[in-house]
Amino acid sequence: MLWRNLSHSKRIASYVTHGESHQTILLFYQLQKTGSKITELVLSAVARVCGRVGAIEEGKQAHCMVFKHGFDRDMILMTSLLHMYFKCTDIRDARRVYDEMPSRDVVVNNNMIFGLCRCQLTVEAINVFNKMCERDTGSWNSLISGLAQNSEERTALFLFGKMRVEGVEVDVMTMSSVLSVCADLAGLVNGKQVHGLVIRYGFDLHIPVGNAIIDMYAKCGCMDDACQFFKNMPAKNVVSWTSLIVGYGKHGLGLEALEAFDAMETEGVIPNKITFLGALYACSHAGLVQEGWRSFNMMIHKYSITPMMEHYTCLVDLLARAGHLTEAYNFIERMPIKPEAKLLTAFFSSCCSHMNVELAKTVGQRLLELEPEQAGTYMLLSNFYGLVGDLKGVANVRRLMLKKGIRKEKACTWIEIDRKVHTFESGDRSHPRSKEIYNYLHNLVQKLKNNGYVPNTSMVMQNVDEHTKEEIVLGHSEKLAIMLGLICSPPGTRIMIVKNLRVCADCHLLTALISKIEGREIVARDSSRFHHFRNGKCSCGDHW
């Protein structure tokens, strides 16, 4: 009997190790039917598998057997159940498992923090963290990474500062998480300081940390630094190369991205699906149509990688941006999978840019059917109708939004000055230096108007006079952030801003003009890519 039980445990462990989730659950059913003795090891393995595949009902059966056999004092088993419920997003039962535990060690609390953050319950996660009698590095890491994943990067950065003040030992996971936070915030000053700590602690030899450094510099607009660090890495893996390729793509350096891809192949590193996604993205944002097709076909035929929706989206975006709208539409119709909203959104945007009214109307209707509750879809349609002068269409879209209670996402831009992040919304006058910002902006715009600049108000849908439309456009968040940068930094220094949405046509034009008249390099990171403005021109070549 002991041999049989041991055999079952080994078989379960083998199935779990090799990812054979279905076989694990099937064997669990067989054990219940035959009345075989079920151990804590078996139940723990079953709970992990159920969490992995989202098999909540089977997981609950395992939970019942935990109490039936009196295993509820086994900390490892209870932690597996806790993890399973969080993976299945069953918050109520996860809390119940946590509350029923007779004692909770640091591992249990770390898992609770991780799970709560996974379910976007960061306030509860912080409460668990604050109540812990004992914390280890994993406790801090769980909360820092959890906050970052929930777009609470500044709180995560504050927590890292507190971690250092309290003298808690940092590890590779800490450094990787904090570097990712700096990357998302485009916090170059903090990122460089963390890079210094990485060198001080000797973590720069760890590939995951090195990859995070490449990503940080790329997202902070410093591709030269990202490339230099990449070259000096003693060891690289596919993620290292992919980070470099994606970075090039975000900066519109399509040819450099493809050169890196070729060099990776020469080094014998096998690209994965994310590498190809980076290559396709780079082609899309540099207008490299033939190269994009080559990458797409190579992925399928040379490396036998089945395209994901993201790959199809990049290729459609590439074709449509380049004006190959019919080819892109035919490609969508031939796709083996049904197109998702993000793909249709990319195609729709290009239909608007190239003023293909018929295709835009067709795709716009499909978008509404796919995403009837997404504000972005309605705003795209509204802007399209505005572009073609269909005021009735604009009114209908706005009326539908009002009826459904849908509100558009607020545009906001932030800039870091002297290690402090300043955030602006459109028309924002809450900043302490707001009066200076608007005075500087109006004086600068007047100079530019005298030299031929005309504000592009085509995207303003309010029924107001042209002067009011100009005021609305000139109050866009990125313009306000740039003005603060001009006021607060020495002449000639680089300004970098980050926007949560795509930069608008007028802001793009005005920023280019400002870069010339002020003699500044201005770097703008929007939701899509980087724009480097120098001497009146943008690195994207107006291809964004």
d(CA 198, CA 207): 12
Amino acid at 254: G
d(CA 86, CA 82): 6
Give the helix/strand (H/E) hosting 434.
Answer: helix 434-450
pLDDT under 50: residue ranges of the chain: 1-6
d(CA 312, CA 328): 10
- Candidates 259, 307, 267; CA nearest to 286 is 259
What is the per-residue pLDDT for 36? 67
Between the alpha carbon of residue 348 and those of residues 352, 474, 541, the distances in Å are 6, 26, 21
Q: Assess contact for 63 and 81: CB atoms under 8 A.
A: yes
| Residue corresponding to tokens 């660090």 | 229
What is the per-residue pLDDT for 70? 74
- Give the tens place of pLDDT for each residue, 114-137: 999 988 999 999 999 999 999 999
Q: What is the pTM of this model?
A: 0.81
What is the per-residue pLDDT for 469? 83
What is the per-residue pLDDT for 53? 78
What is the per-residue pLDDT for 228? 96
| Residue corresponding to tokens 């949560």 | 500
Between the alpha carbon of residue 173 and those of residues 176, 206, 336, the distances in Å are 5, 10, 39
